[in-house]
């Protein structure tokens, strides 16, 4: 299965924070060699860099590390292909424009047959590739479109729509996904393959909350560097599996986290 990672922070942080360890999973320490992508927001727009090649030896990953792009919302995906050719069009994250901003989506799991299932229409949001993940995203955008036609929807309206979307997605297959509209990050945990177990079991995602004090120029833990400029920093990290030995929290099956500015929000 693929691997997901997301970061939400109060202030911009350096995108090189964990790419080395995360990239190692993309073909060096794991089987995920079929592509990778990183989306990081600049206000409501997205800088999206993707490749249908292993991340572990990618010059583009080195480029990101050396140039230190900064963002307060970052979504990453490393692919192990099960549906669709190893091509750029099938490489996540996916992104579309709606309501004057970019919406970004990354998914982990196989949604068998979703393209032909009734109730998952995409309207004018047509996929570019062949993956079930992109089809699910286009269906989500089809559902989101009415919400954004009259201005920025409330958080509750966004959450309720995502809650219903995730509820209908879970019976089709593992439905771990991370979605952002440039304002909030929504992480939905379902289930995935687990070492030593047959089939799919929760947790499908884990999360970690961190803070950095005013006096710290950076905060380093294995594989993660959070750089900020003379300010108190709050960060929430979401990953398929814990990237460090810290106290990552497993997400329950069907749980949706609402994250904004490095903090967990509740309705």
Question: Cα(259)–Cα(237) distance, rounded to whole angstroms?
Answer: 10
Question: Cα(1)–Cα(251) distance, rounded to whole angstroms?
Answer: 17
Read off the tokens for 267: 């309705």
In DSSP terms, 200 is beta-bridged to 193
135-144 long-range Cβ contacts below 8 angstroms, 24+ apart:
135/111, 136/105, 136/107, 136/111, 136/169, 136/175, 136/177, 137/94, 137/96, 137/105, 137/107, 138/96, 139/165, 140/105, 140/165, 140/179, 141/96, 141/98, 141/103, 144/98, 144/103
Q: Write the CA distances from 72 to 7, 85, 233, integer angstroms.
A: 7, 32, 11
Read off the tokens for 1: 């299965």
Question: Cα(51)–Cα(86) distance, rounded to whole angstroms?
Answer: 9
Q: Which residues are catalytic?
A: 2
With tokens 């903090």, the residue in question is 263
């Amino acid at each position: 299965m693929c691997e997901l990672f997301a970061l939400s922070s109060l202030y911009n942080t350096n995108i090189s924070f964990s790419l080395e360890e995360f990239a190692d999973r993309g073909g060096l320490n794991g089987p995920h060699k079929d592509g990778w992508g990183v989306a990081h927001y600049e206000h409501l727009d997205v800088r999206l860099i993707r490749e249908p090649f292993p991340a572990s030896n990618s010059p583009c990953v080195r480029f990101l590390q050396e140039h230190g792009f900064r963002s307060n919302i970052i979504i990453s995906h490393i692919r192990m292909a099960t549906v669709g050719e190893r091509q750029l069009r099938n490489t996540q994250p996916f992104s579309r424009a709606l309501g004057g901003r970019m919406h970004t989506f990354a998914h982990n799991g196989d949604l068998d047959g979703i393209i032909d299932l009734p109730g998952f229409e995409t309207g004018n949001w047509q996929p570019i590739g062949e993956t079930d993940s992109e089809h699910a995203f286009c269906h989500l955008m089809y559902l989101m479109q009415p919400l954004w036609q009259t201005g920025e929807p409330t958080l509750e309206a966004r959450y309720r729509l995502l809650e219903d979307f995730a509820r209908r997605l879970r019976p089709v297959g593992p439905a771990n996904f991370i979605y952002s509209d440039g304002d909030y990050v929504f992480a939905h945990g379902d289930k995935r393959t687990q070492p030593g177990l047959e089939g799919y079991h929760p947790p499908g995602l884990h999360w970690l909350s961190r803070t950095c004090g005013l006096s710290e120029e950076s905060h380093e833990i294995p594989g993660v560097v959070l750089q900020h400029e003379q300010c108190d920093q709050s960060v929430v990290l979401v990953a398929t599996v814990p990237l460090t030995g810290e106290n990552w929290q497993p997400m329950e099956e069907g749980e949706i986290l609402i994250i904004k500015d490095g903090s967990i929000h509740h309705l």
